[in-house]
A and B are shown apart, each in its own frame.
Chain A
Amino acid sequence: MTRLLQRILGRLPVGWLQLTHSRGRLAAAIAGVSFANVLVLVQLGIAGALNGTIAQGYDLFRADILISAPDANTMTDGGNVARQHLWQALADPDVADGAALYIGTLTWSRTSGDTALQTFGIGPDKGDFLAPNLAPHAASLMRADTAVIDRMTRRLEPGLVATLSETTPLTFEGGGRTLSVTGAFTGGVGFSADGYMLVSDQTFLSLFPRRLSGAPNHLLIRLAPGADPAQVADRLRRDLGGDLRVRSMADAIAEDQQYQGTERPTGIIFGFGVVIGVLVGIVIVYQVLSTDVADHLREYATFKAVGYPHRYFISIILEEALILATLGFVPGIAIATGLYAALNTATGLPLVMTVDTALAVLAGTMAACALSGAIATRRLAAADPADLF
């Protein structure tokens, strides 16, 4: 290791030799950096899962444009949008088709506990507005009180959904009716619901008697081939009036993630956790490096008498900072990956360690450690070679 660093640095790796000479301090520093890394990675993982689950809901549908109420900050937040706007939109020559989407949360009471199903209602003839894995189920929803369910729903035994078909459905009571579940698809659990369920618009309205057919949550719009989505969206926004949100699916997802990540308490807490993790790391590394400088003032003063310039000492401290960043990152990412798996098992949330996240955190760790080192170099001024004799 010493030899490798010597090759990289083109000088004796004095920082490395100093760090490894006091093992206790090195261990404490590595533990501190790892801890900060774990903190940041877990917060990022959960924030990433939040973004993932947000996109997951939208991804069940296929549309070029989504029309929603002005206050519909998320898929389920805010008011409804009048269905008459659908007829207005269909009058536009570039709009090929449209569908009304109803969303509600249905509680499925089971002996093992209540399961909250985020329930989508859509016309069974609108299969082409569904994601490819959902579309084949559309026709089966024609019959009243049938449903297809998310096989990833929390606490749903795999055996229950493995054998589902139109002739061997699973039935349960919900919303005062008996639902027949005739199929399953792969959705995913979310922060607010345990799983998804898809029904026809008619079934939806009977499950949620207070909802009106004239007031769906969103309108899904498909454009004629060759139409420019941005242009049509602008036109619809103007024609429909009433401050409606008219956006592409991708924009809707991005705005939802932005909103939940920065304006909802959960998102803010995750961001705050990242900041705390970074601060903890900077403080610990600063503490270690400045103590190290203070302990070696006599050596540094000697080196100054030998003729080393100021930048030599800065490079030693930065060497130490980057070593701590690297050595702390390795256990940090290992522990965080383990925690991701544990959290995934416990909650079903999609926490995934991506290479991008890992590299970003490594780069951030190095930057934070370098910053700590830069602050610690201020103590170098106290190393005065005149005091050596």
Chain B
Amino acid sequence: MNKVASPIRVTGLNHWFGKNEARKQAIFDVNLTIPRGSLTILMGPSGSGKTTVLTLMGCLRDVQGGSVRLLDHELNGARTAEQVALRRRLGFIFQAHNLHGSLTARQNVLIGLEVHGGGASAAYVEAANHMLGLVGLGERLDYLPGSLSGGQKQRVAVARALVGNPEIVFADEPTAALDKESGRTVVEMLKALGRERGTTTVMVTHDNRILDLADRIVTLEDGRIVDDRTP
């Protein structure tokens, strides 16, 4: 796998929502280059465009104006198949855990592995068990999400995002549903992963208690970058 120095390069990014008269610009000329292995935090008031920028960079939303180069692939005009293939190299952690309620903790984590093909192998099960152990759920492997607490569910979601060794992790307020303690634990895990494996992390958060872990803090307001600093 080729190691890209800057896995995310955003230049002149604009985005609009709605059609015809209702069409409204949400993102204005955003430029952002994120180095490999860094932990970048996106901040800003509600409605400032953080989530929109994150979904555009994570190829969950089609790029309309400007350029996003993700892992050396141009996302503006990328075909669906190319987007789907790129997503497999990413990990997403959502504000809501978005676990599958019919699948056990282990099976939910396996979803993050089976996407790479090769079927349901014993090695995958081993890796899923190990990952759940890392997030402190080694005793809850066969629990359905319905019988886990909110924090435990979010940790399963983290395990699902990280188990496939993604090159970039995108997280949108991942600690919102967690208490102070586990929130910080999750972010520390992401940071450690960046150091060990060179994983790049982009995280949206309102949580001031974890800002000290960031390599860089980008602040958005009304769809524009208004501040970009290193703490």
A307 touches B98 (CB 8 A): no
Tell me the complex Cα distance, A318–B38, Å.
42
Query: How many angstroms from the CA of A378 to the CA of B63 in the assembled complex?
Result: 25
Contacts of B95 in A (CB 8 A): 389
Please judge, given known A-B contacts A303-B111, A388-B60, whether A11 and B92 are in contact too, CB under 8 Å: no
Whether A302 and B120, one on each chain, are in contact in the complex, defined by CB atoms closer than 8 angstroms, is: no
Chain A, residue nearest B146 (CB): A21
- Name the A residues within 8 Å of B120 (CB-CB): 6, 10-12
Question: Which A residues are CB-close (under 8 A) to B92?
Answer: 305-306, 388
A341 within 8 A of B: no
Q: Is B55 an interface residue (CB 8 A)?
A: yes
Do the beta carbons of B110 and A308 come within 8 Å of each other? no
Task: Name which residue of chain A comes closest to B55, CB basis.
Answer: A386
Specify which chain A residues have a CB less than 8 angstroms from the CB of B134 in the assembled complex.
none
| CB of B18 to closest CB in A, whole Å | 14
Residues of B within 8 A of A12 (CB): 103, 107, 110-111, 114, 120
Docked Cα-Cα span, A225 to B29, in Å, equals 97
Contact A299 B87 (CB under 8 A): no
Q: Known contacts being A309-B84, A386-B60, is A10 close to B119, with CB within 8 Å? A: yes
- Sorting the interface of chain B by its residue count into under 10, 10 to 19, 20 to 34 or 35 or more gives 20 to 34
Instruction: Mark contacts of A1-42 with chain B using CB atoms, 8 A cut-off: 1 yes-contact digit, 0 otherwise.
Output: 000001000111010011011000000000000000000000
A-chain residues with CB within 8 Å of residue B86 when the two chains form the complex: 307
| Residues B81 and A309 in contact, CB atoms below 8 Å apart | yes
Cβ-defined contact, A306 with B112, below 8 A: yes
Residue from B60, B102, B107 in contact with A305 in the complex, judged by beta carbons closer than 8 Å? B60
Residue ID in chain A nearest B95 by CB atoms: A389
1/0 contact string of B95-107 vs chain A (CB within 8 Å)? 1101011110001
Q: Which of A6, A307, A389 is close to B85, meaning CB atoms less than 8 Å apart?
A: A307
Known: A12-B114, A298-B98, A307-B87. A389 touches B55 (CB 8 A): yes
Provide the residues of chain A in CB contact with B51, threshold 8 Å: 389
Residues in B with CB closer than 8 Å to A388 are 60, 92, 94, 96, 98
Contacts of B114 in A (CB 8 A): 11-12
Instruction: Report Cα–Cα, A18/B100, bound state, in Å.
Output: 9
Q: Which secondary structure characterizes the binding site on chain A?
A: helix
Interface pair B103/A17, CB less than 8 Å apart: yes
A307 to B92 Cα, complex, angstroms: 10
Give A12 to B115 CA distance when docked, in angstroms.
11
Q: Does A169 contact B (CB under 8 A)?
A: no
Of A6, A304, A305, A308, most B-chain CB atoms within 10 Å: A305
Of B55, B103, B115, B172, the contact of A306 (CB 8 Å cutoff): B115
Q: How far is the CB of A347 from chain B (nearest CB, A)?
A: 47
Which residues of B are found within 8 Å of A18, using beta-carbon distances? 102
- Contact assessment for B119 and A11 in the assembled complex, using a CB-CB cutoff below 8 Å: yes
List residues of chain B with CB within 8 A of the CB of A389: 51, 54-55, 60, 94-95, 172
Q: Which residues on B sit within 8 Å (CB–CB) of A21?
A: 101-102
Say if the beta carbon of A52 comes within 8 Å of chain B: no
| C-alpha gap A301/B58 in the complex (Å) | 14
A127 in the interface (beta carbon within 8 A): no
What are the residues of chain A within 8 A of B96 when measuring CB–CB?
Answer: 388
User: Is B61 located at the chain interface by the 8 A CB criterion?
Assistant: yes
Interface centre among B51, B61, B111 (most CB of A within 10 A): B111
In the complex, which residue of chain B has the Cβ closest to the Cβ of A299?
Answer: B100
B187 nearest CB across to chain A (Å): 17
Instruction: List the 9 closest A-B pairs by CB distance, nearest first.
Output: A307-B88, A21-B102, A307-B87, A10-B119, A386-B61, A302-B98, A389-B172, A385-B60, A17-B102
**Chain A residues in contact with chain B, CB under 8 A?**
6, 10-12, 14, 17-18, 20-21, 296, 298-299, 301-309, 385-386, 388-389
Chain B positions near chain A (C-beta within 8 angstroms): 51, 54-55, 58, 60-61, 81, 84-90, 92, 94-96, 98, 100-103, 107, 110-112, 114-115, 119-120, 160, 172
21 CB contacts below 8 A, A to B, read: A11-B114, A11-B120, A12-B103, A12-B107, A12-B110, A14-B100, A21-B102, A301-B98, A304-B84, A305-B58, A305-B60, A305-B87, A307-B85, A307-B87, A308-B115, A309-B81, A309-B84, A385-B55, A386-B61, A388-B98, A389-B55
